[in-house]
Amino acid sequence: MDSQPPFGQFSAVCPGCGAGIYPSDEVCPKCGHPLKVMEHDHQAPMNDDAWTQATIKSLSLTVLRTVYALYSLAGAFFVFSGAEYYADRDDPSLRSRVFPVLLGSGFVFLLIALFSRKKRVVAFVIGTLAFIASVIFLYIYSGKGVDLVGILLVGIPLYVLVTGLSAAVKLEKLKKD
């Protein structure tokens, strides 16, 4: 059965032209104004302020993950220094070169992570450079070749540091604007 009221008795008026409309009308029969709002039309478009806030939140999470990565690097270098110390007991010259670099790198990354609360961009630049320097030094003086695991152990932290640096720079730009 038809749910429309009897002819001539309109249930509402068109917001566009004021003509009478029925509940089943999807568009105004007089002016063509859309009357039924689709579900996706209910969502308000994101304004610039909401976009900026969402971007800041996303960048802040990336920066926070990078800070955690710096703490993780510090821990990893401490663990590797202990493992290297006990693994190379027979080669004191290797232990005298590799162990201090691993232990020192652990302390450097710990300090950088602590410093990153104040100056994130500077800390991430220093962290990236310190990581690259540590890896190069360890590659040269350890005498061990690079395998897939070594590439992953270098590539993943480097990617996280560079991504965090990029996010920190973008975040600083957004905060200045």
Listed residue (88, 90, 65) closest to 157, CA to CA: 65
Q: What is the pLDDT of residues 114-155, one digit of tens each?
A: 988 888 898 899 989 988 888 888 777 766 666 666 677 788
Counting residues of the chain whose pLDDT is more than 70, the rounded percentage is: 73
Q: What is the pLDDT of residues 84-117, one digit of tens each?
A: 777 766 666 666 677 788 888 889 889 989 988 8
Instruction: Identify the burial level of 148 via C-beta atoms within 10 angstroms of its C-beta, where 0-12 means exposed, 13-18 middle and 19 or more buried.
Output: exposed
pTM for the whole thing? Answer: 0.62
